[in-house]
Chains A and B, each alone.
Chain A
Amino acid sequence: MNRAAEFKKIVAQYCSVTAEDMTEEMRFREDLGFSSLDFMSLLGELEDTFDVELEQENAVQVRTIGDALNMLEELAA
């Protein structure tokens, strides 16, 4: 499974939008219904799954699926 697909599968645990229906423009809070704590929990899960370390201060700036994927790409590069 590629990174984007695995990422969307994790995000889908927190909302009722399926990984297949997820688009890069979707916003975590407004479109996917994430609470602030859902989002924090997701960040922790991303760290464990992709073996990266996220700076909480930067990570909380992420708004959309696309933002989060870009952040992961940069960290993994």
Chain B
Amino acid sequence: MISNKRLVLAHFWLAFGVFGLAILLGEWQMFIRSPLHAWIRDPDLYYRSVTAHGTVMGYVFPTLIAMGLGYAISELALDQPLVGRRWAWVGYALIIIGSIAAVVPVAMGLDSVLYTFYPPMIGNAFYYIGVVLVVVGSWIWVALMGINLHVWKRAHPGAPVPLAMFANVAGAYLWAWTAVGAALELLFQILPVALGFTSTINAGLSRVLFSWTLHAIVYFWLMPTYIAFYTIVPRAIGGRLYSDTMARISFALFLVFAMPIGIHHLFADPQVGAGFKFVHSVFTALVAVPTFLTVFTICASVEIAARLRGGKGAFGWLKALPWDNPQMLALAFSFVLLGFGGAGGLINMSYQLDSTIHNTQWITGHFHLIFGGAIVIMYFAIAYDLWPHLTGRAMLDLGLIRAQLWLWFVGMIVLTFPWHYAGILGMPRRMAYYDYTAPGMAAEGITVVMSVIGGALLVLSAILFFTVLYRNHSATRVEPAPFTFSKAVHEPTSLPLALNGLGLWVALMIVLTITNYGYPIVQLIGLHNADVPAVFVGAKR
């Protein structure tokens, strides 16, 4: 039973609201730079749009989803009212204030620096302050998740922490620590320049600090999706979770290995030595392990559901799955997109292969496939599953839901596959227009047109999504059955200390971050001759 329905609904609606606006910007960007449109007269409009799209989709949207889901899980899994409800609203308010502070100067053209900041380009300080406020708001949530778990553990000494809460708090701690990299960059490097205290900045150091955040943030985005894989889908399709222990190990491994790998974003950078690049490449290979464990455990859980429904044979059980169930459909789509995205990721992590596609449209394709595809499709599924419990009304539009998921799946493939191809041809990212008449560029025009079509399918899918949620608010009132999470085949009765808390894993996360990032950061801090003059964008100072 969720007692804070308004809090959870407020987070989800704000998340999906900003998502709806950002997706329109994304489709506009695709169109404006395609051969369907003449060269844009003011390229800055394009870069403002990219900055807003990235800031909303990368920071605001997933953070709000993780927070809303986290508050719901805390009450549902622990069966206790949320401790610190007022603070939760304070965090929510900070995110709204921060988002407005960030987006207004971006819209005015004062901060066309993209959501990755890119110093020594420096924009208006309000953008960076806004981003910091969003992060601070989310840190309130992190603290509340830790506190709620602590309160519950004190009341239930020795009892196994419910898997959903274990995973939820793992995600919160991962976020708290990974946000530190960008926070250091913003507070100690960018803001002092943006506010006029200094005028030089070490761009190489900034890139290393940002990479600290840039990769693990993907696993923070992924956490709600994995929580849905393990704790919602098996229950929703009438199966059992294959292994509770393996689920906990996977979440613990994400916590440990998501962090010390970010330098694989910097393989082509001159300011990091080959040794650390190699170490991060190896650790990136390790982070694939919990994903493979998850794929195994979830497929096995799904098979249990199929066999309980009478499925037979080595592969024949696939036919017995409840394919008309939106959760089943979303899971299957998510896995297919994760499979393609993951295969691309294995290419990115090897520094020889990476050099063929680094910073090309391939990368845009890769993270849209993983985040926009595999992850966001499960955000939809989470909303569909949770909504009746939040509104107390029946979810009736199952046909519409299936159409929405299909459209998203097909749209994401039509959007991202051409991007991958264009990347192999060497098409660079983030350009307001391309000269498709140039020799060697002709083949790329058609890929951009295909992506425009894919984007249009996604916009259509988003409209259906909003229709379903909106219609639910005025559907017939029902008393939904109590919300439950998946039950494991073997429910844990007692757990080893390491798998019933996160202390050990958080300690490992911090230690590995220090060993893998400590030396490059200290080395770059000492390189004062690499402090370069800031280049201000937007209004002249």
* A and B physically associate: no
Interface residues of A (CB under 8 A from B): none
